[in-house]
Protein backbone atom coordinates (compact mmCIF):
# COMPACT_ATOMS: atom_id res chain seq x y z
CA UNK A 1 0.00 0.00 0.00
CA UNK A 2 1.39 3.37 -1.00
CA UNK A 3 1.77 6.09 1.58
CA UNK A 4 0.70 9.65 0.75
CA UNK A 5 2.02 12.52 2.85
CA UNK A 6 0.89 16.14 2.92
CA UNK A 7 3.68 18.38 4.15
CA UNK A 8 2.81 21.79 5.58
CA UNK A 9 5.21 24.68 6.09
CA UNK A 10 3.07 26.90 8.34
CA UNK A 11 3.10 30.61 7.67
CA UNK A 12 0.49 33.34 7.84
CA UNK A 13 1.39 35.15 4.61
CA UNK A 14 2.42 32.02 2.69
CA UNK A 15 1.53 28.56 3.98
CA UNK A 16 3.40 26.01 1.91
CA UNK A 17 1.99 22.59 1.08
CA UNK A 18 3.51 19.62 -0.71
CA UNK A 19 1.99 16.21 -1.43
CA UNK A 20 4.18 13.21 -2.16
CA UNK A 21 3.57 9.51 -2.72
CA UNK A 22 5.98 6.85 -1.50
CA UNK A 23 7.57 4.69 -4.16
CA UNK A 24 9.67 1.58 -3.81
CA UNK A 25 12.66 1.81 -1.49
CA UNK A 26 13.40 5.46 -0.72
CA UNK A 27 11.85 6.78 -3.92
CA UNK A 28 8.96 9.22 -3.95
CA UNK A 29 6.96 11.19 -6.47
CA UNK A 30 5.62 14.73 -6.25
CA UNK A 31 1.83 14.93 -6.55
CA UNK A 32 1.09 18.59 -5.83
CA UNK A 33 2.87 21.63 -4.43
CA UNK A 34 2.10 25.29 -3.81
CA UNK A 35 1.19 27.89 -1.21
CA UNK A 36 -1.95 29.28 0.36
CA UNK A 37 -1.52 33.06 0.45
CA UNK A 38 -3.13 35.68 2.67
CA UNK A 39 -2.83 39.45 2.75
CA UNK A 40 -1.12 41.16 5.70
CA UNK A 41 -3.83 43.82 5.40
CA UNK A 42 -6.55 41.34 6.43
CA UNK A 43 -7.42 40.62 10.05
CA UNK A 44 -6.10 37.46 11.70
CA UNK A 45 -9.47 35.70 11.64
CA UNK A 46 -9.88 36.26 7.90
CA UNK A 47 -6.34 35.07 7.25
CA UNK A 48 -6.64 31.91 9.34
CA UNK A 49 -9.97 31.11 7.69
CA UNK A 50 -8.39 31.46 4.24
CA UNK A 51 -5.54 29.15 5.21
CA UNK A 52 -7.98 26.66 6.71
CA UNK A 53 -10.05 26.59 3.53
CA UNK A 54 -6.98 26.27 1.34
CA UNK A 55 -5.49 23.37 3.32
CA UNK A 56 -8.88 21.72 3.67
CA UNK A 57 -9.28 21.75 -0.13
CA UNK A 58 -5.90 20.04 -0.51
CA UNK A 59 -6.73 17.42 2.13
CA UNK A 60 -10.05 16.68 0.42
CA UNK A 61 -8.41 16.54 -3.01
CA UNK A 62 -5.48 14.30 -2.10
CA UNK A 63 -6.67 12.26 0.95
CA UNK A 64 -3.24 11.99 2.64
CA UNK A 65 -2.42 9.21 5.11
CA UNK A 66 -0.32 11.60 7.20
CA UNK A 67 -0.10 15.37 7.58
CA UNK A 68 3.48 16.39 8.44
CA UNK A 69 4.01 19.89 9.78
CA UNK A 70 7.13 21.88 10.60
CA UNK A 71 7.41 22.20 14.36
CA UNK A 72 7.36 25.77 15.65
CA UNK A 73 10.66 26.70 17.25
CA UNK A 74 11.64 29.66 19.42
CA UNK A 75 13.13 32.69 17.78
CA UNK A 76 13.50 36.38 18.60
CA UNK A 77 10.50 37.44 16.48
CA UNK A 78 7.59 36.63 18.83
CA UNK A 79 4.78 37.77 16.47
CA UNK A 80 6.13 35.43 13.76
CA UNK A 81 6.26 32.51 16.20
CA UNK A 82 2.69 33.22 17.33
CA UNK A 83 1.26 33.38 13.80
CA UNK A 84 3.17 30.25 12.79
CA UNK A 85 1.79 28.43 15.85
CA UNK A 86 -1.74 29.52 14.95
CA UNK A 87 -1.40 28.13 11.41
CA UNK A 88 0.07 24.93 12.85
CA UNK A 89 -3.03 24.59 15.03
CA UNK A 90 -5.29 25.00 12.00
CA UNK A 91 -3.47 22.20 10.15
CA UNK A 92 -3.59 19.89 13.18
CA UNK A 93 -7.34 20.41 13.66
CA UNK A 94 -8.09 19.80 9.97
CA UNK A 95 -6.22 16.48 10.14
CA UNK A 96 -7.79 15.51 13.48
CA UNK A 97 -11.31 16.12 12.17
CA UNK A 98 -10.66 13.47 9.52
CA UNK A 99 -8.77 11.01 11.70
CA UNK A 100 -5.54 11.62 9.80
CA UNK A 101 -2.29 11.12 11.71
CA UNK A 102 -0.13 14.19 12.19
CA UNK A 103 3.62 14.46 12.69
CA UNK A 104 5.78 17.42 13.67
CA UNK A 105 9.38 17.81 12.50
CA UNK A 106 11.91 20.48 13.48
CA UNK A 107 13.76 22.41 10.77
CA UNK A 108 17.03 20.65 11.65
CA UNK A 109 15.34 17.24 11.35
CA UNK A 110 14.08 18.20 7.90
CA UNK A 111 17.50 19.45 6.79
CA UNK A 112 19.19 16.28 8.04
CA UNK A 113 16.62 13.97 6.43
CA UNK A 114 16.80 15.60 3.01
CA UNK A 115 20.47 16.61 2.76
CA UNK A 116 22.25 14.60 5.44
CA UNK A 117 23.22 17.78 7.30
CA UNK A 118 21.18 19.54 9.97
CA UNK A 119 22.86 22.81 8.97
CA UNK A 120 21.98 22.80 5.26
CA UNK A 121 20.65 26.01 3.73
CA UNK A 122 17.55 26.43 1.58
CA UNK A 123 19.49 26.18 -1.69
CA UNK A 124 20.98 22.83 -0.66
CA UNK A 125 17.54 21.53 0.30
CA UNK A 126 16.05 22.67 -3.00
CA UNK A 127 18.89 21.07 -4.98
CA UNK A 128 18.30 17.76 -3.19
CA UNK A 129 14.56 17.95 -3.87
CA UNK A 130 15.27 18.32 -7.60
CA UNK A 131 17.55 15.28 -7.48
CA UNK A 132 15.46 13.06 -5.20
CA UNK A 133 12.13 13.74 -6.89
CA UNK A 134 13.55 13.99 -10.43
CA UNK A 135 12.20 17.51 -10.96
CA UNK A 136 13.13 20.02 -13.66
CA UNK A 137 13.37 22.77 -11.04
CA UNK A 138 12.84 23.23 -7.32
CA UNK A 139 9.28 24.09 -6.23
CA UNK A 140 8.70 27.81 -5.78
CA UNK A 141 8.39 29.81 -3.62
CA UNK A 142 10.70 28.54 -0.87
CA UNK A 143 7.71 27.85 1.43
CA UNK A 144 6.42 25.30 -1.10
CA UNK A 145 9.83 23.61 -1.33
CA UNK A 146 10.03 23.49 2.47
CA UNK A 147 6.64 21.76 2.61
CA UNK A 148 7.84 19.07 0.19
CA UNK A 149 10.98 18.59 2.31
CA UNK A 150 8.79 18.18 5.41
CA UNK A 151 6.72 15.54 3.62
CA UNK A 152 9.89 13.67 2.60
CA UNK A 153 11.13 13.79 6.18
CA UNK A 154 7.95 12.09 7.35
CA UNK A 155 8.22 9.52 4.59
CA UNK A 156 11.77 8.57 5.53
CA UNK A 157 11.81 9.16 9.28
CA UNK A 158 8.18 8.64 10.25
CA UNK A 159 6.70 5.36 11.49
CA UNK A 160 5.72 4.16 8.03
CA UNK A 161 2.54 3.27 6.15
CA UNK A 162 -0.78 3.04 7.92
CA UNK A 163 -2.23 -0.46 8.15
CA UNK A 164 -5.55 -1.61 9.51
CA UNK A 165 -5.52 -3.83 12.55
CA UNK A 166 -8.04 -6.62 13.20
CA UNK A 167 -10.48 -4.22 14.84
CA UNK A 168 -10.43 -1.94 11.77
CA UNK A 169 -8.43 0.77 13.53
CA UNK A 170 -5.53 2.51 11.83
CA UNK A 171 -2.07 1.35 12.81
CA UNK A 172 1.32 2.38 11.56
CA UNK A 173 3.82 -0.31 10.66
CA UNK A 174 5.83 0.61 13.77
CA UNK A 175 2.72 0.20 15.95
CA UNK A 176 2.04 -3.17 14.32
CA UNK A 177 5.56 -4.37 15.12
CA UNK A 178 5.19 -3.13 18.71
CA UNK A 179 1.81 -4.86 19.08
CA UNK A 180 3.24 -8.14 17.78
CA UNK A 181 6.16 -7.87 20.23
CA UNK A 182 3.69 -7.37 23.07
CA UNK A 183 1.68 -10.41 21.96
CA UNK A 184 4.86 -12.53 21.81
CA UNK A 185 5.89 -11.39 25.29
CA UNK A 186 2.40 -12.20 26.62
CA UNK A 187 2.52 -15.69 25.04
CA UNK A 188 5.93 -16.29 26.60
CA UNK A 189 4.64 -15.18 30.04
CA UNK A 190 1.54 -17.33 29.71
CA UNK A 191 3.51 -20.43 28.73
CA UNK A 192 5.92 -19.97 31.65
CA UNK A 193 3.14 -19.53 34.23
CA UNK A 194 1.18 -22.50 32.91
CA UNK A 195 4.03 -24.81 33.89
CA UNK A 196 3.40 -24.19 37.60
Contact predicate 35/22, CB 8 Å? no
Complete DSSP assignment for 104-137: EE-HHHHHHHHHS-TT--HHHHHHHHHHHTT-SS
In this structure, how many other beta carbons lie within 10 angstroms of the beta carbon of residue 182? 10
Clarify whether 190 is annotated catalytic. Answer: no
Contact predicate 55/36, CB 8 Å? yes
Q: Has 121 been labeled as part of a binding site?
A: no
Clarify whether 9 is annotated catalytic. Answer: yes
Q: How many helices (H) and strands (E) does the chain have?
A: 6, 7
Q: Has 42 been labeled as part of a binding site?
A: no
> Radius of gyration over alpha carbons of the chain, in Å?
19
Q: Which of 21, 65, 70, 146 is catalytic?
A: 70
Q: Has 165 been labeled as part of a binding site?
A: no
Q: Which of 9, 21, 65, 146 is catalytic?
A: 9
Sequence ranges of the binding site: 9, 70, 143
Sequence ranges of the binding site for Mg(2+): 9, 70, 143
Positions marked active-site = 9, 70, 143
Amino acid sequence: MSLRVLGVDPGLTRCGYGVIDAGSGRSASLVDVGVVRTSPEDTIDVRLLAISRGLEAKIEEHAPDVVAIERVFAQANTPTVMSTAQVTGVAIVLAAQRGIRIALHTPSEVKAAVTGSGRADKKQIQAMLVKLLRLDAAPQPADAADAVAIALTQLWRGPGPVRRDASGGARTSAQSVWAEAERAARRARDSSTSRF
